[in-house]
Amino acid sequence: NAGVTQTPKFQVLKTGQSMTLQCAQDMNHEYMSWYRQDPGMGLRLIHYSVGAGITDQGEVPNGYNVSRSTTEDFPLRLLSAAPSQTSVYFCASSYSGGPSTDTQYFGPGTRLTVL
């Protein structure tokens, strides 16, 4: 049981490049989410999904796209990276209900720098 895995661990992009942050979980969790963490700001919810085929916006969705074609995977796409997207990105999953009602399991994070 690997829990929540994220790749890559580190990434440097140039402004305007696109990339996809991968997230996978093997716990059969319905709920998955993406957060970004910036200094002094804790975790901010970007997008979340309550099940395959269902996604919704969180607190800071602009500049990011997500899809959920399977229960296991929840990739986060940056279509045109901007320096403001320099951050540490965490993927999380939980069995049900979202962050307000269930324990979330976090991935190790992806540190993204946009030059």
Partner 1 sequence: GEDVEQSLFLSVREGDSSVINCTYTDSSSTYLYWYKQEPGAGLQLLTYIFSNMDMKQDQRLTVLLNKKDKHLSLRIADTQTGDSAIYFCAEGGYSSASKIIFGSGTRLSIRP
Q: Is 1 in the site for partner 1 (CB under 8 A)?
A: no
Q: Is 61 in the site for partner 1 (CB under 8 A)?
A: no
Binding segment for partner 1 among 22-30, 47-55, 69-77, 88-96 (CB under 8 A)? Answer: 88-96
What values do phi and psi take at 51, rounded to 5? 165, 170
DSSP state of 73: B
Distance separating alpha carbons of residues 44 and 35, to the nearest angstrom: 5
Q: Is the dihedral of CA 91, 68, 73, 84 positive or negative?
A: negative
Q: Is 75 in the site for partner 1 (CB under 8 A)?
A: no
Binding site for partner 1 (CB under 8 A): 35, 37, 40-44, 59, 88, 90, 92, 99-104, 106-109
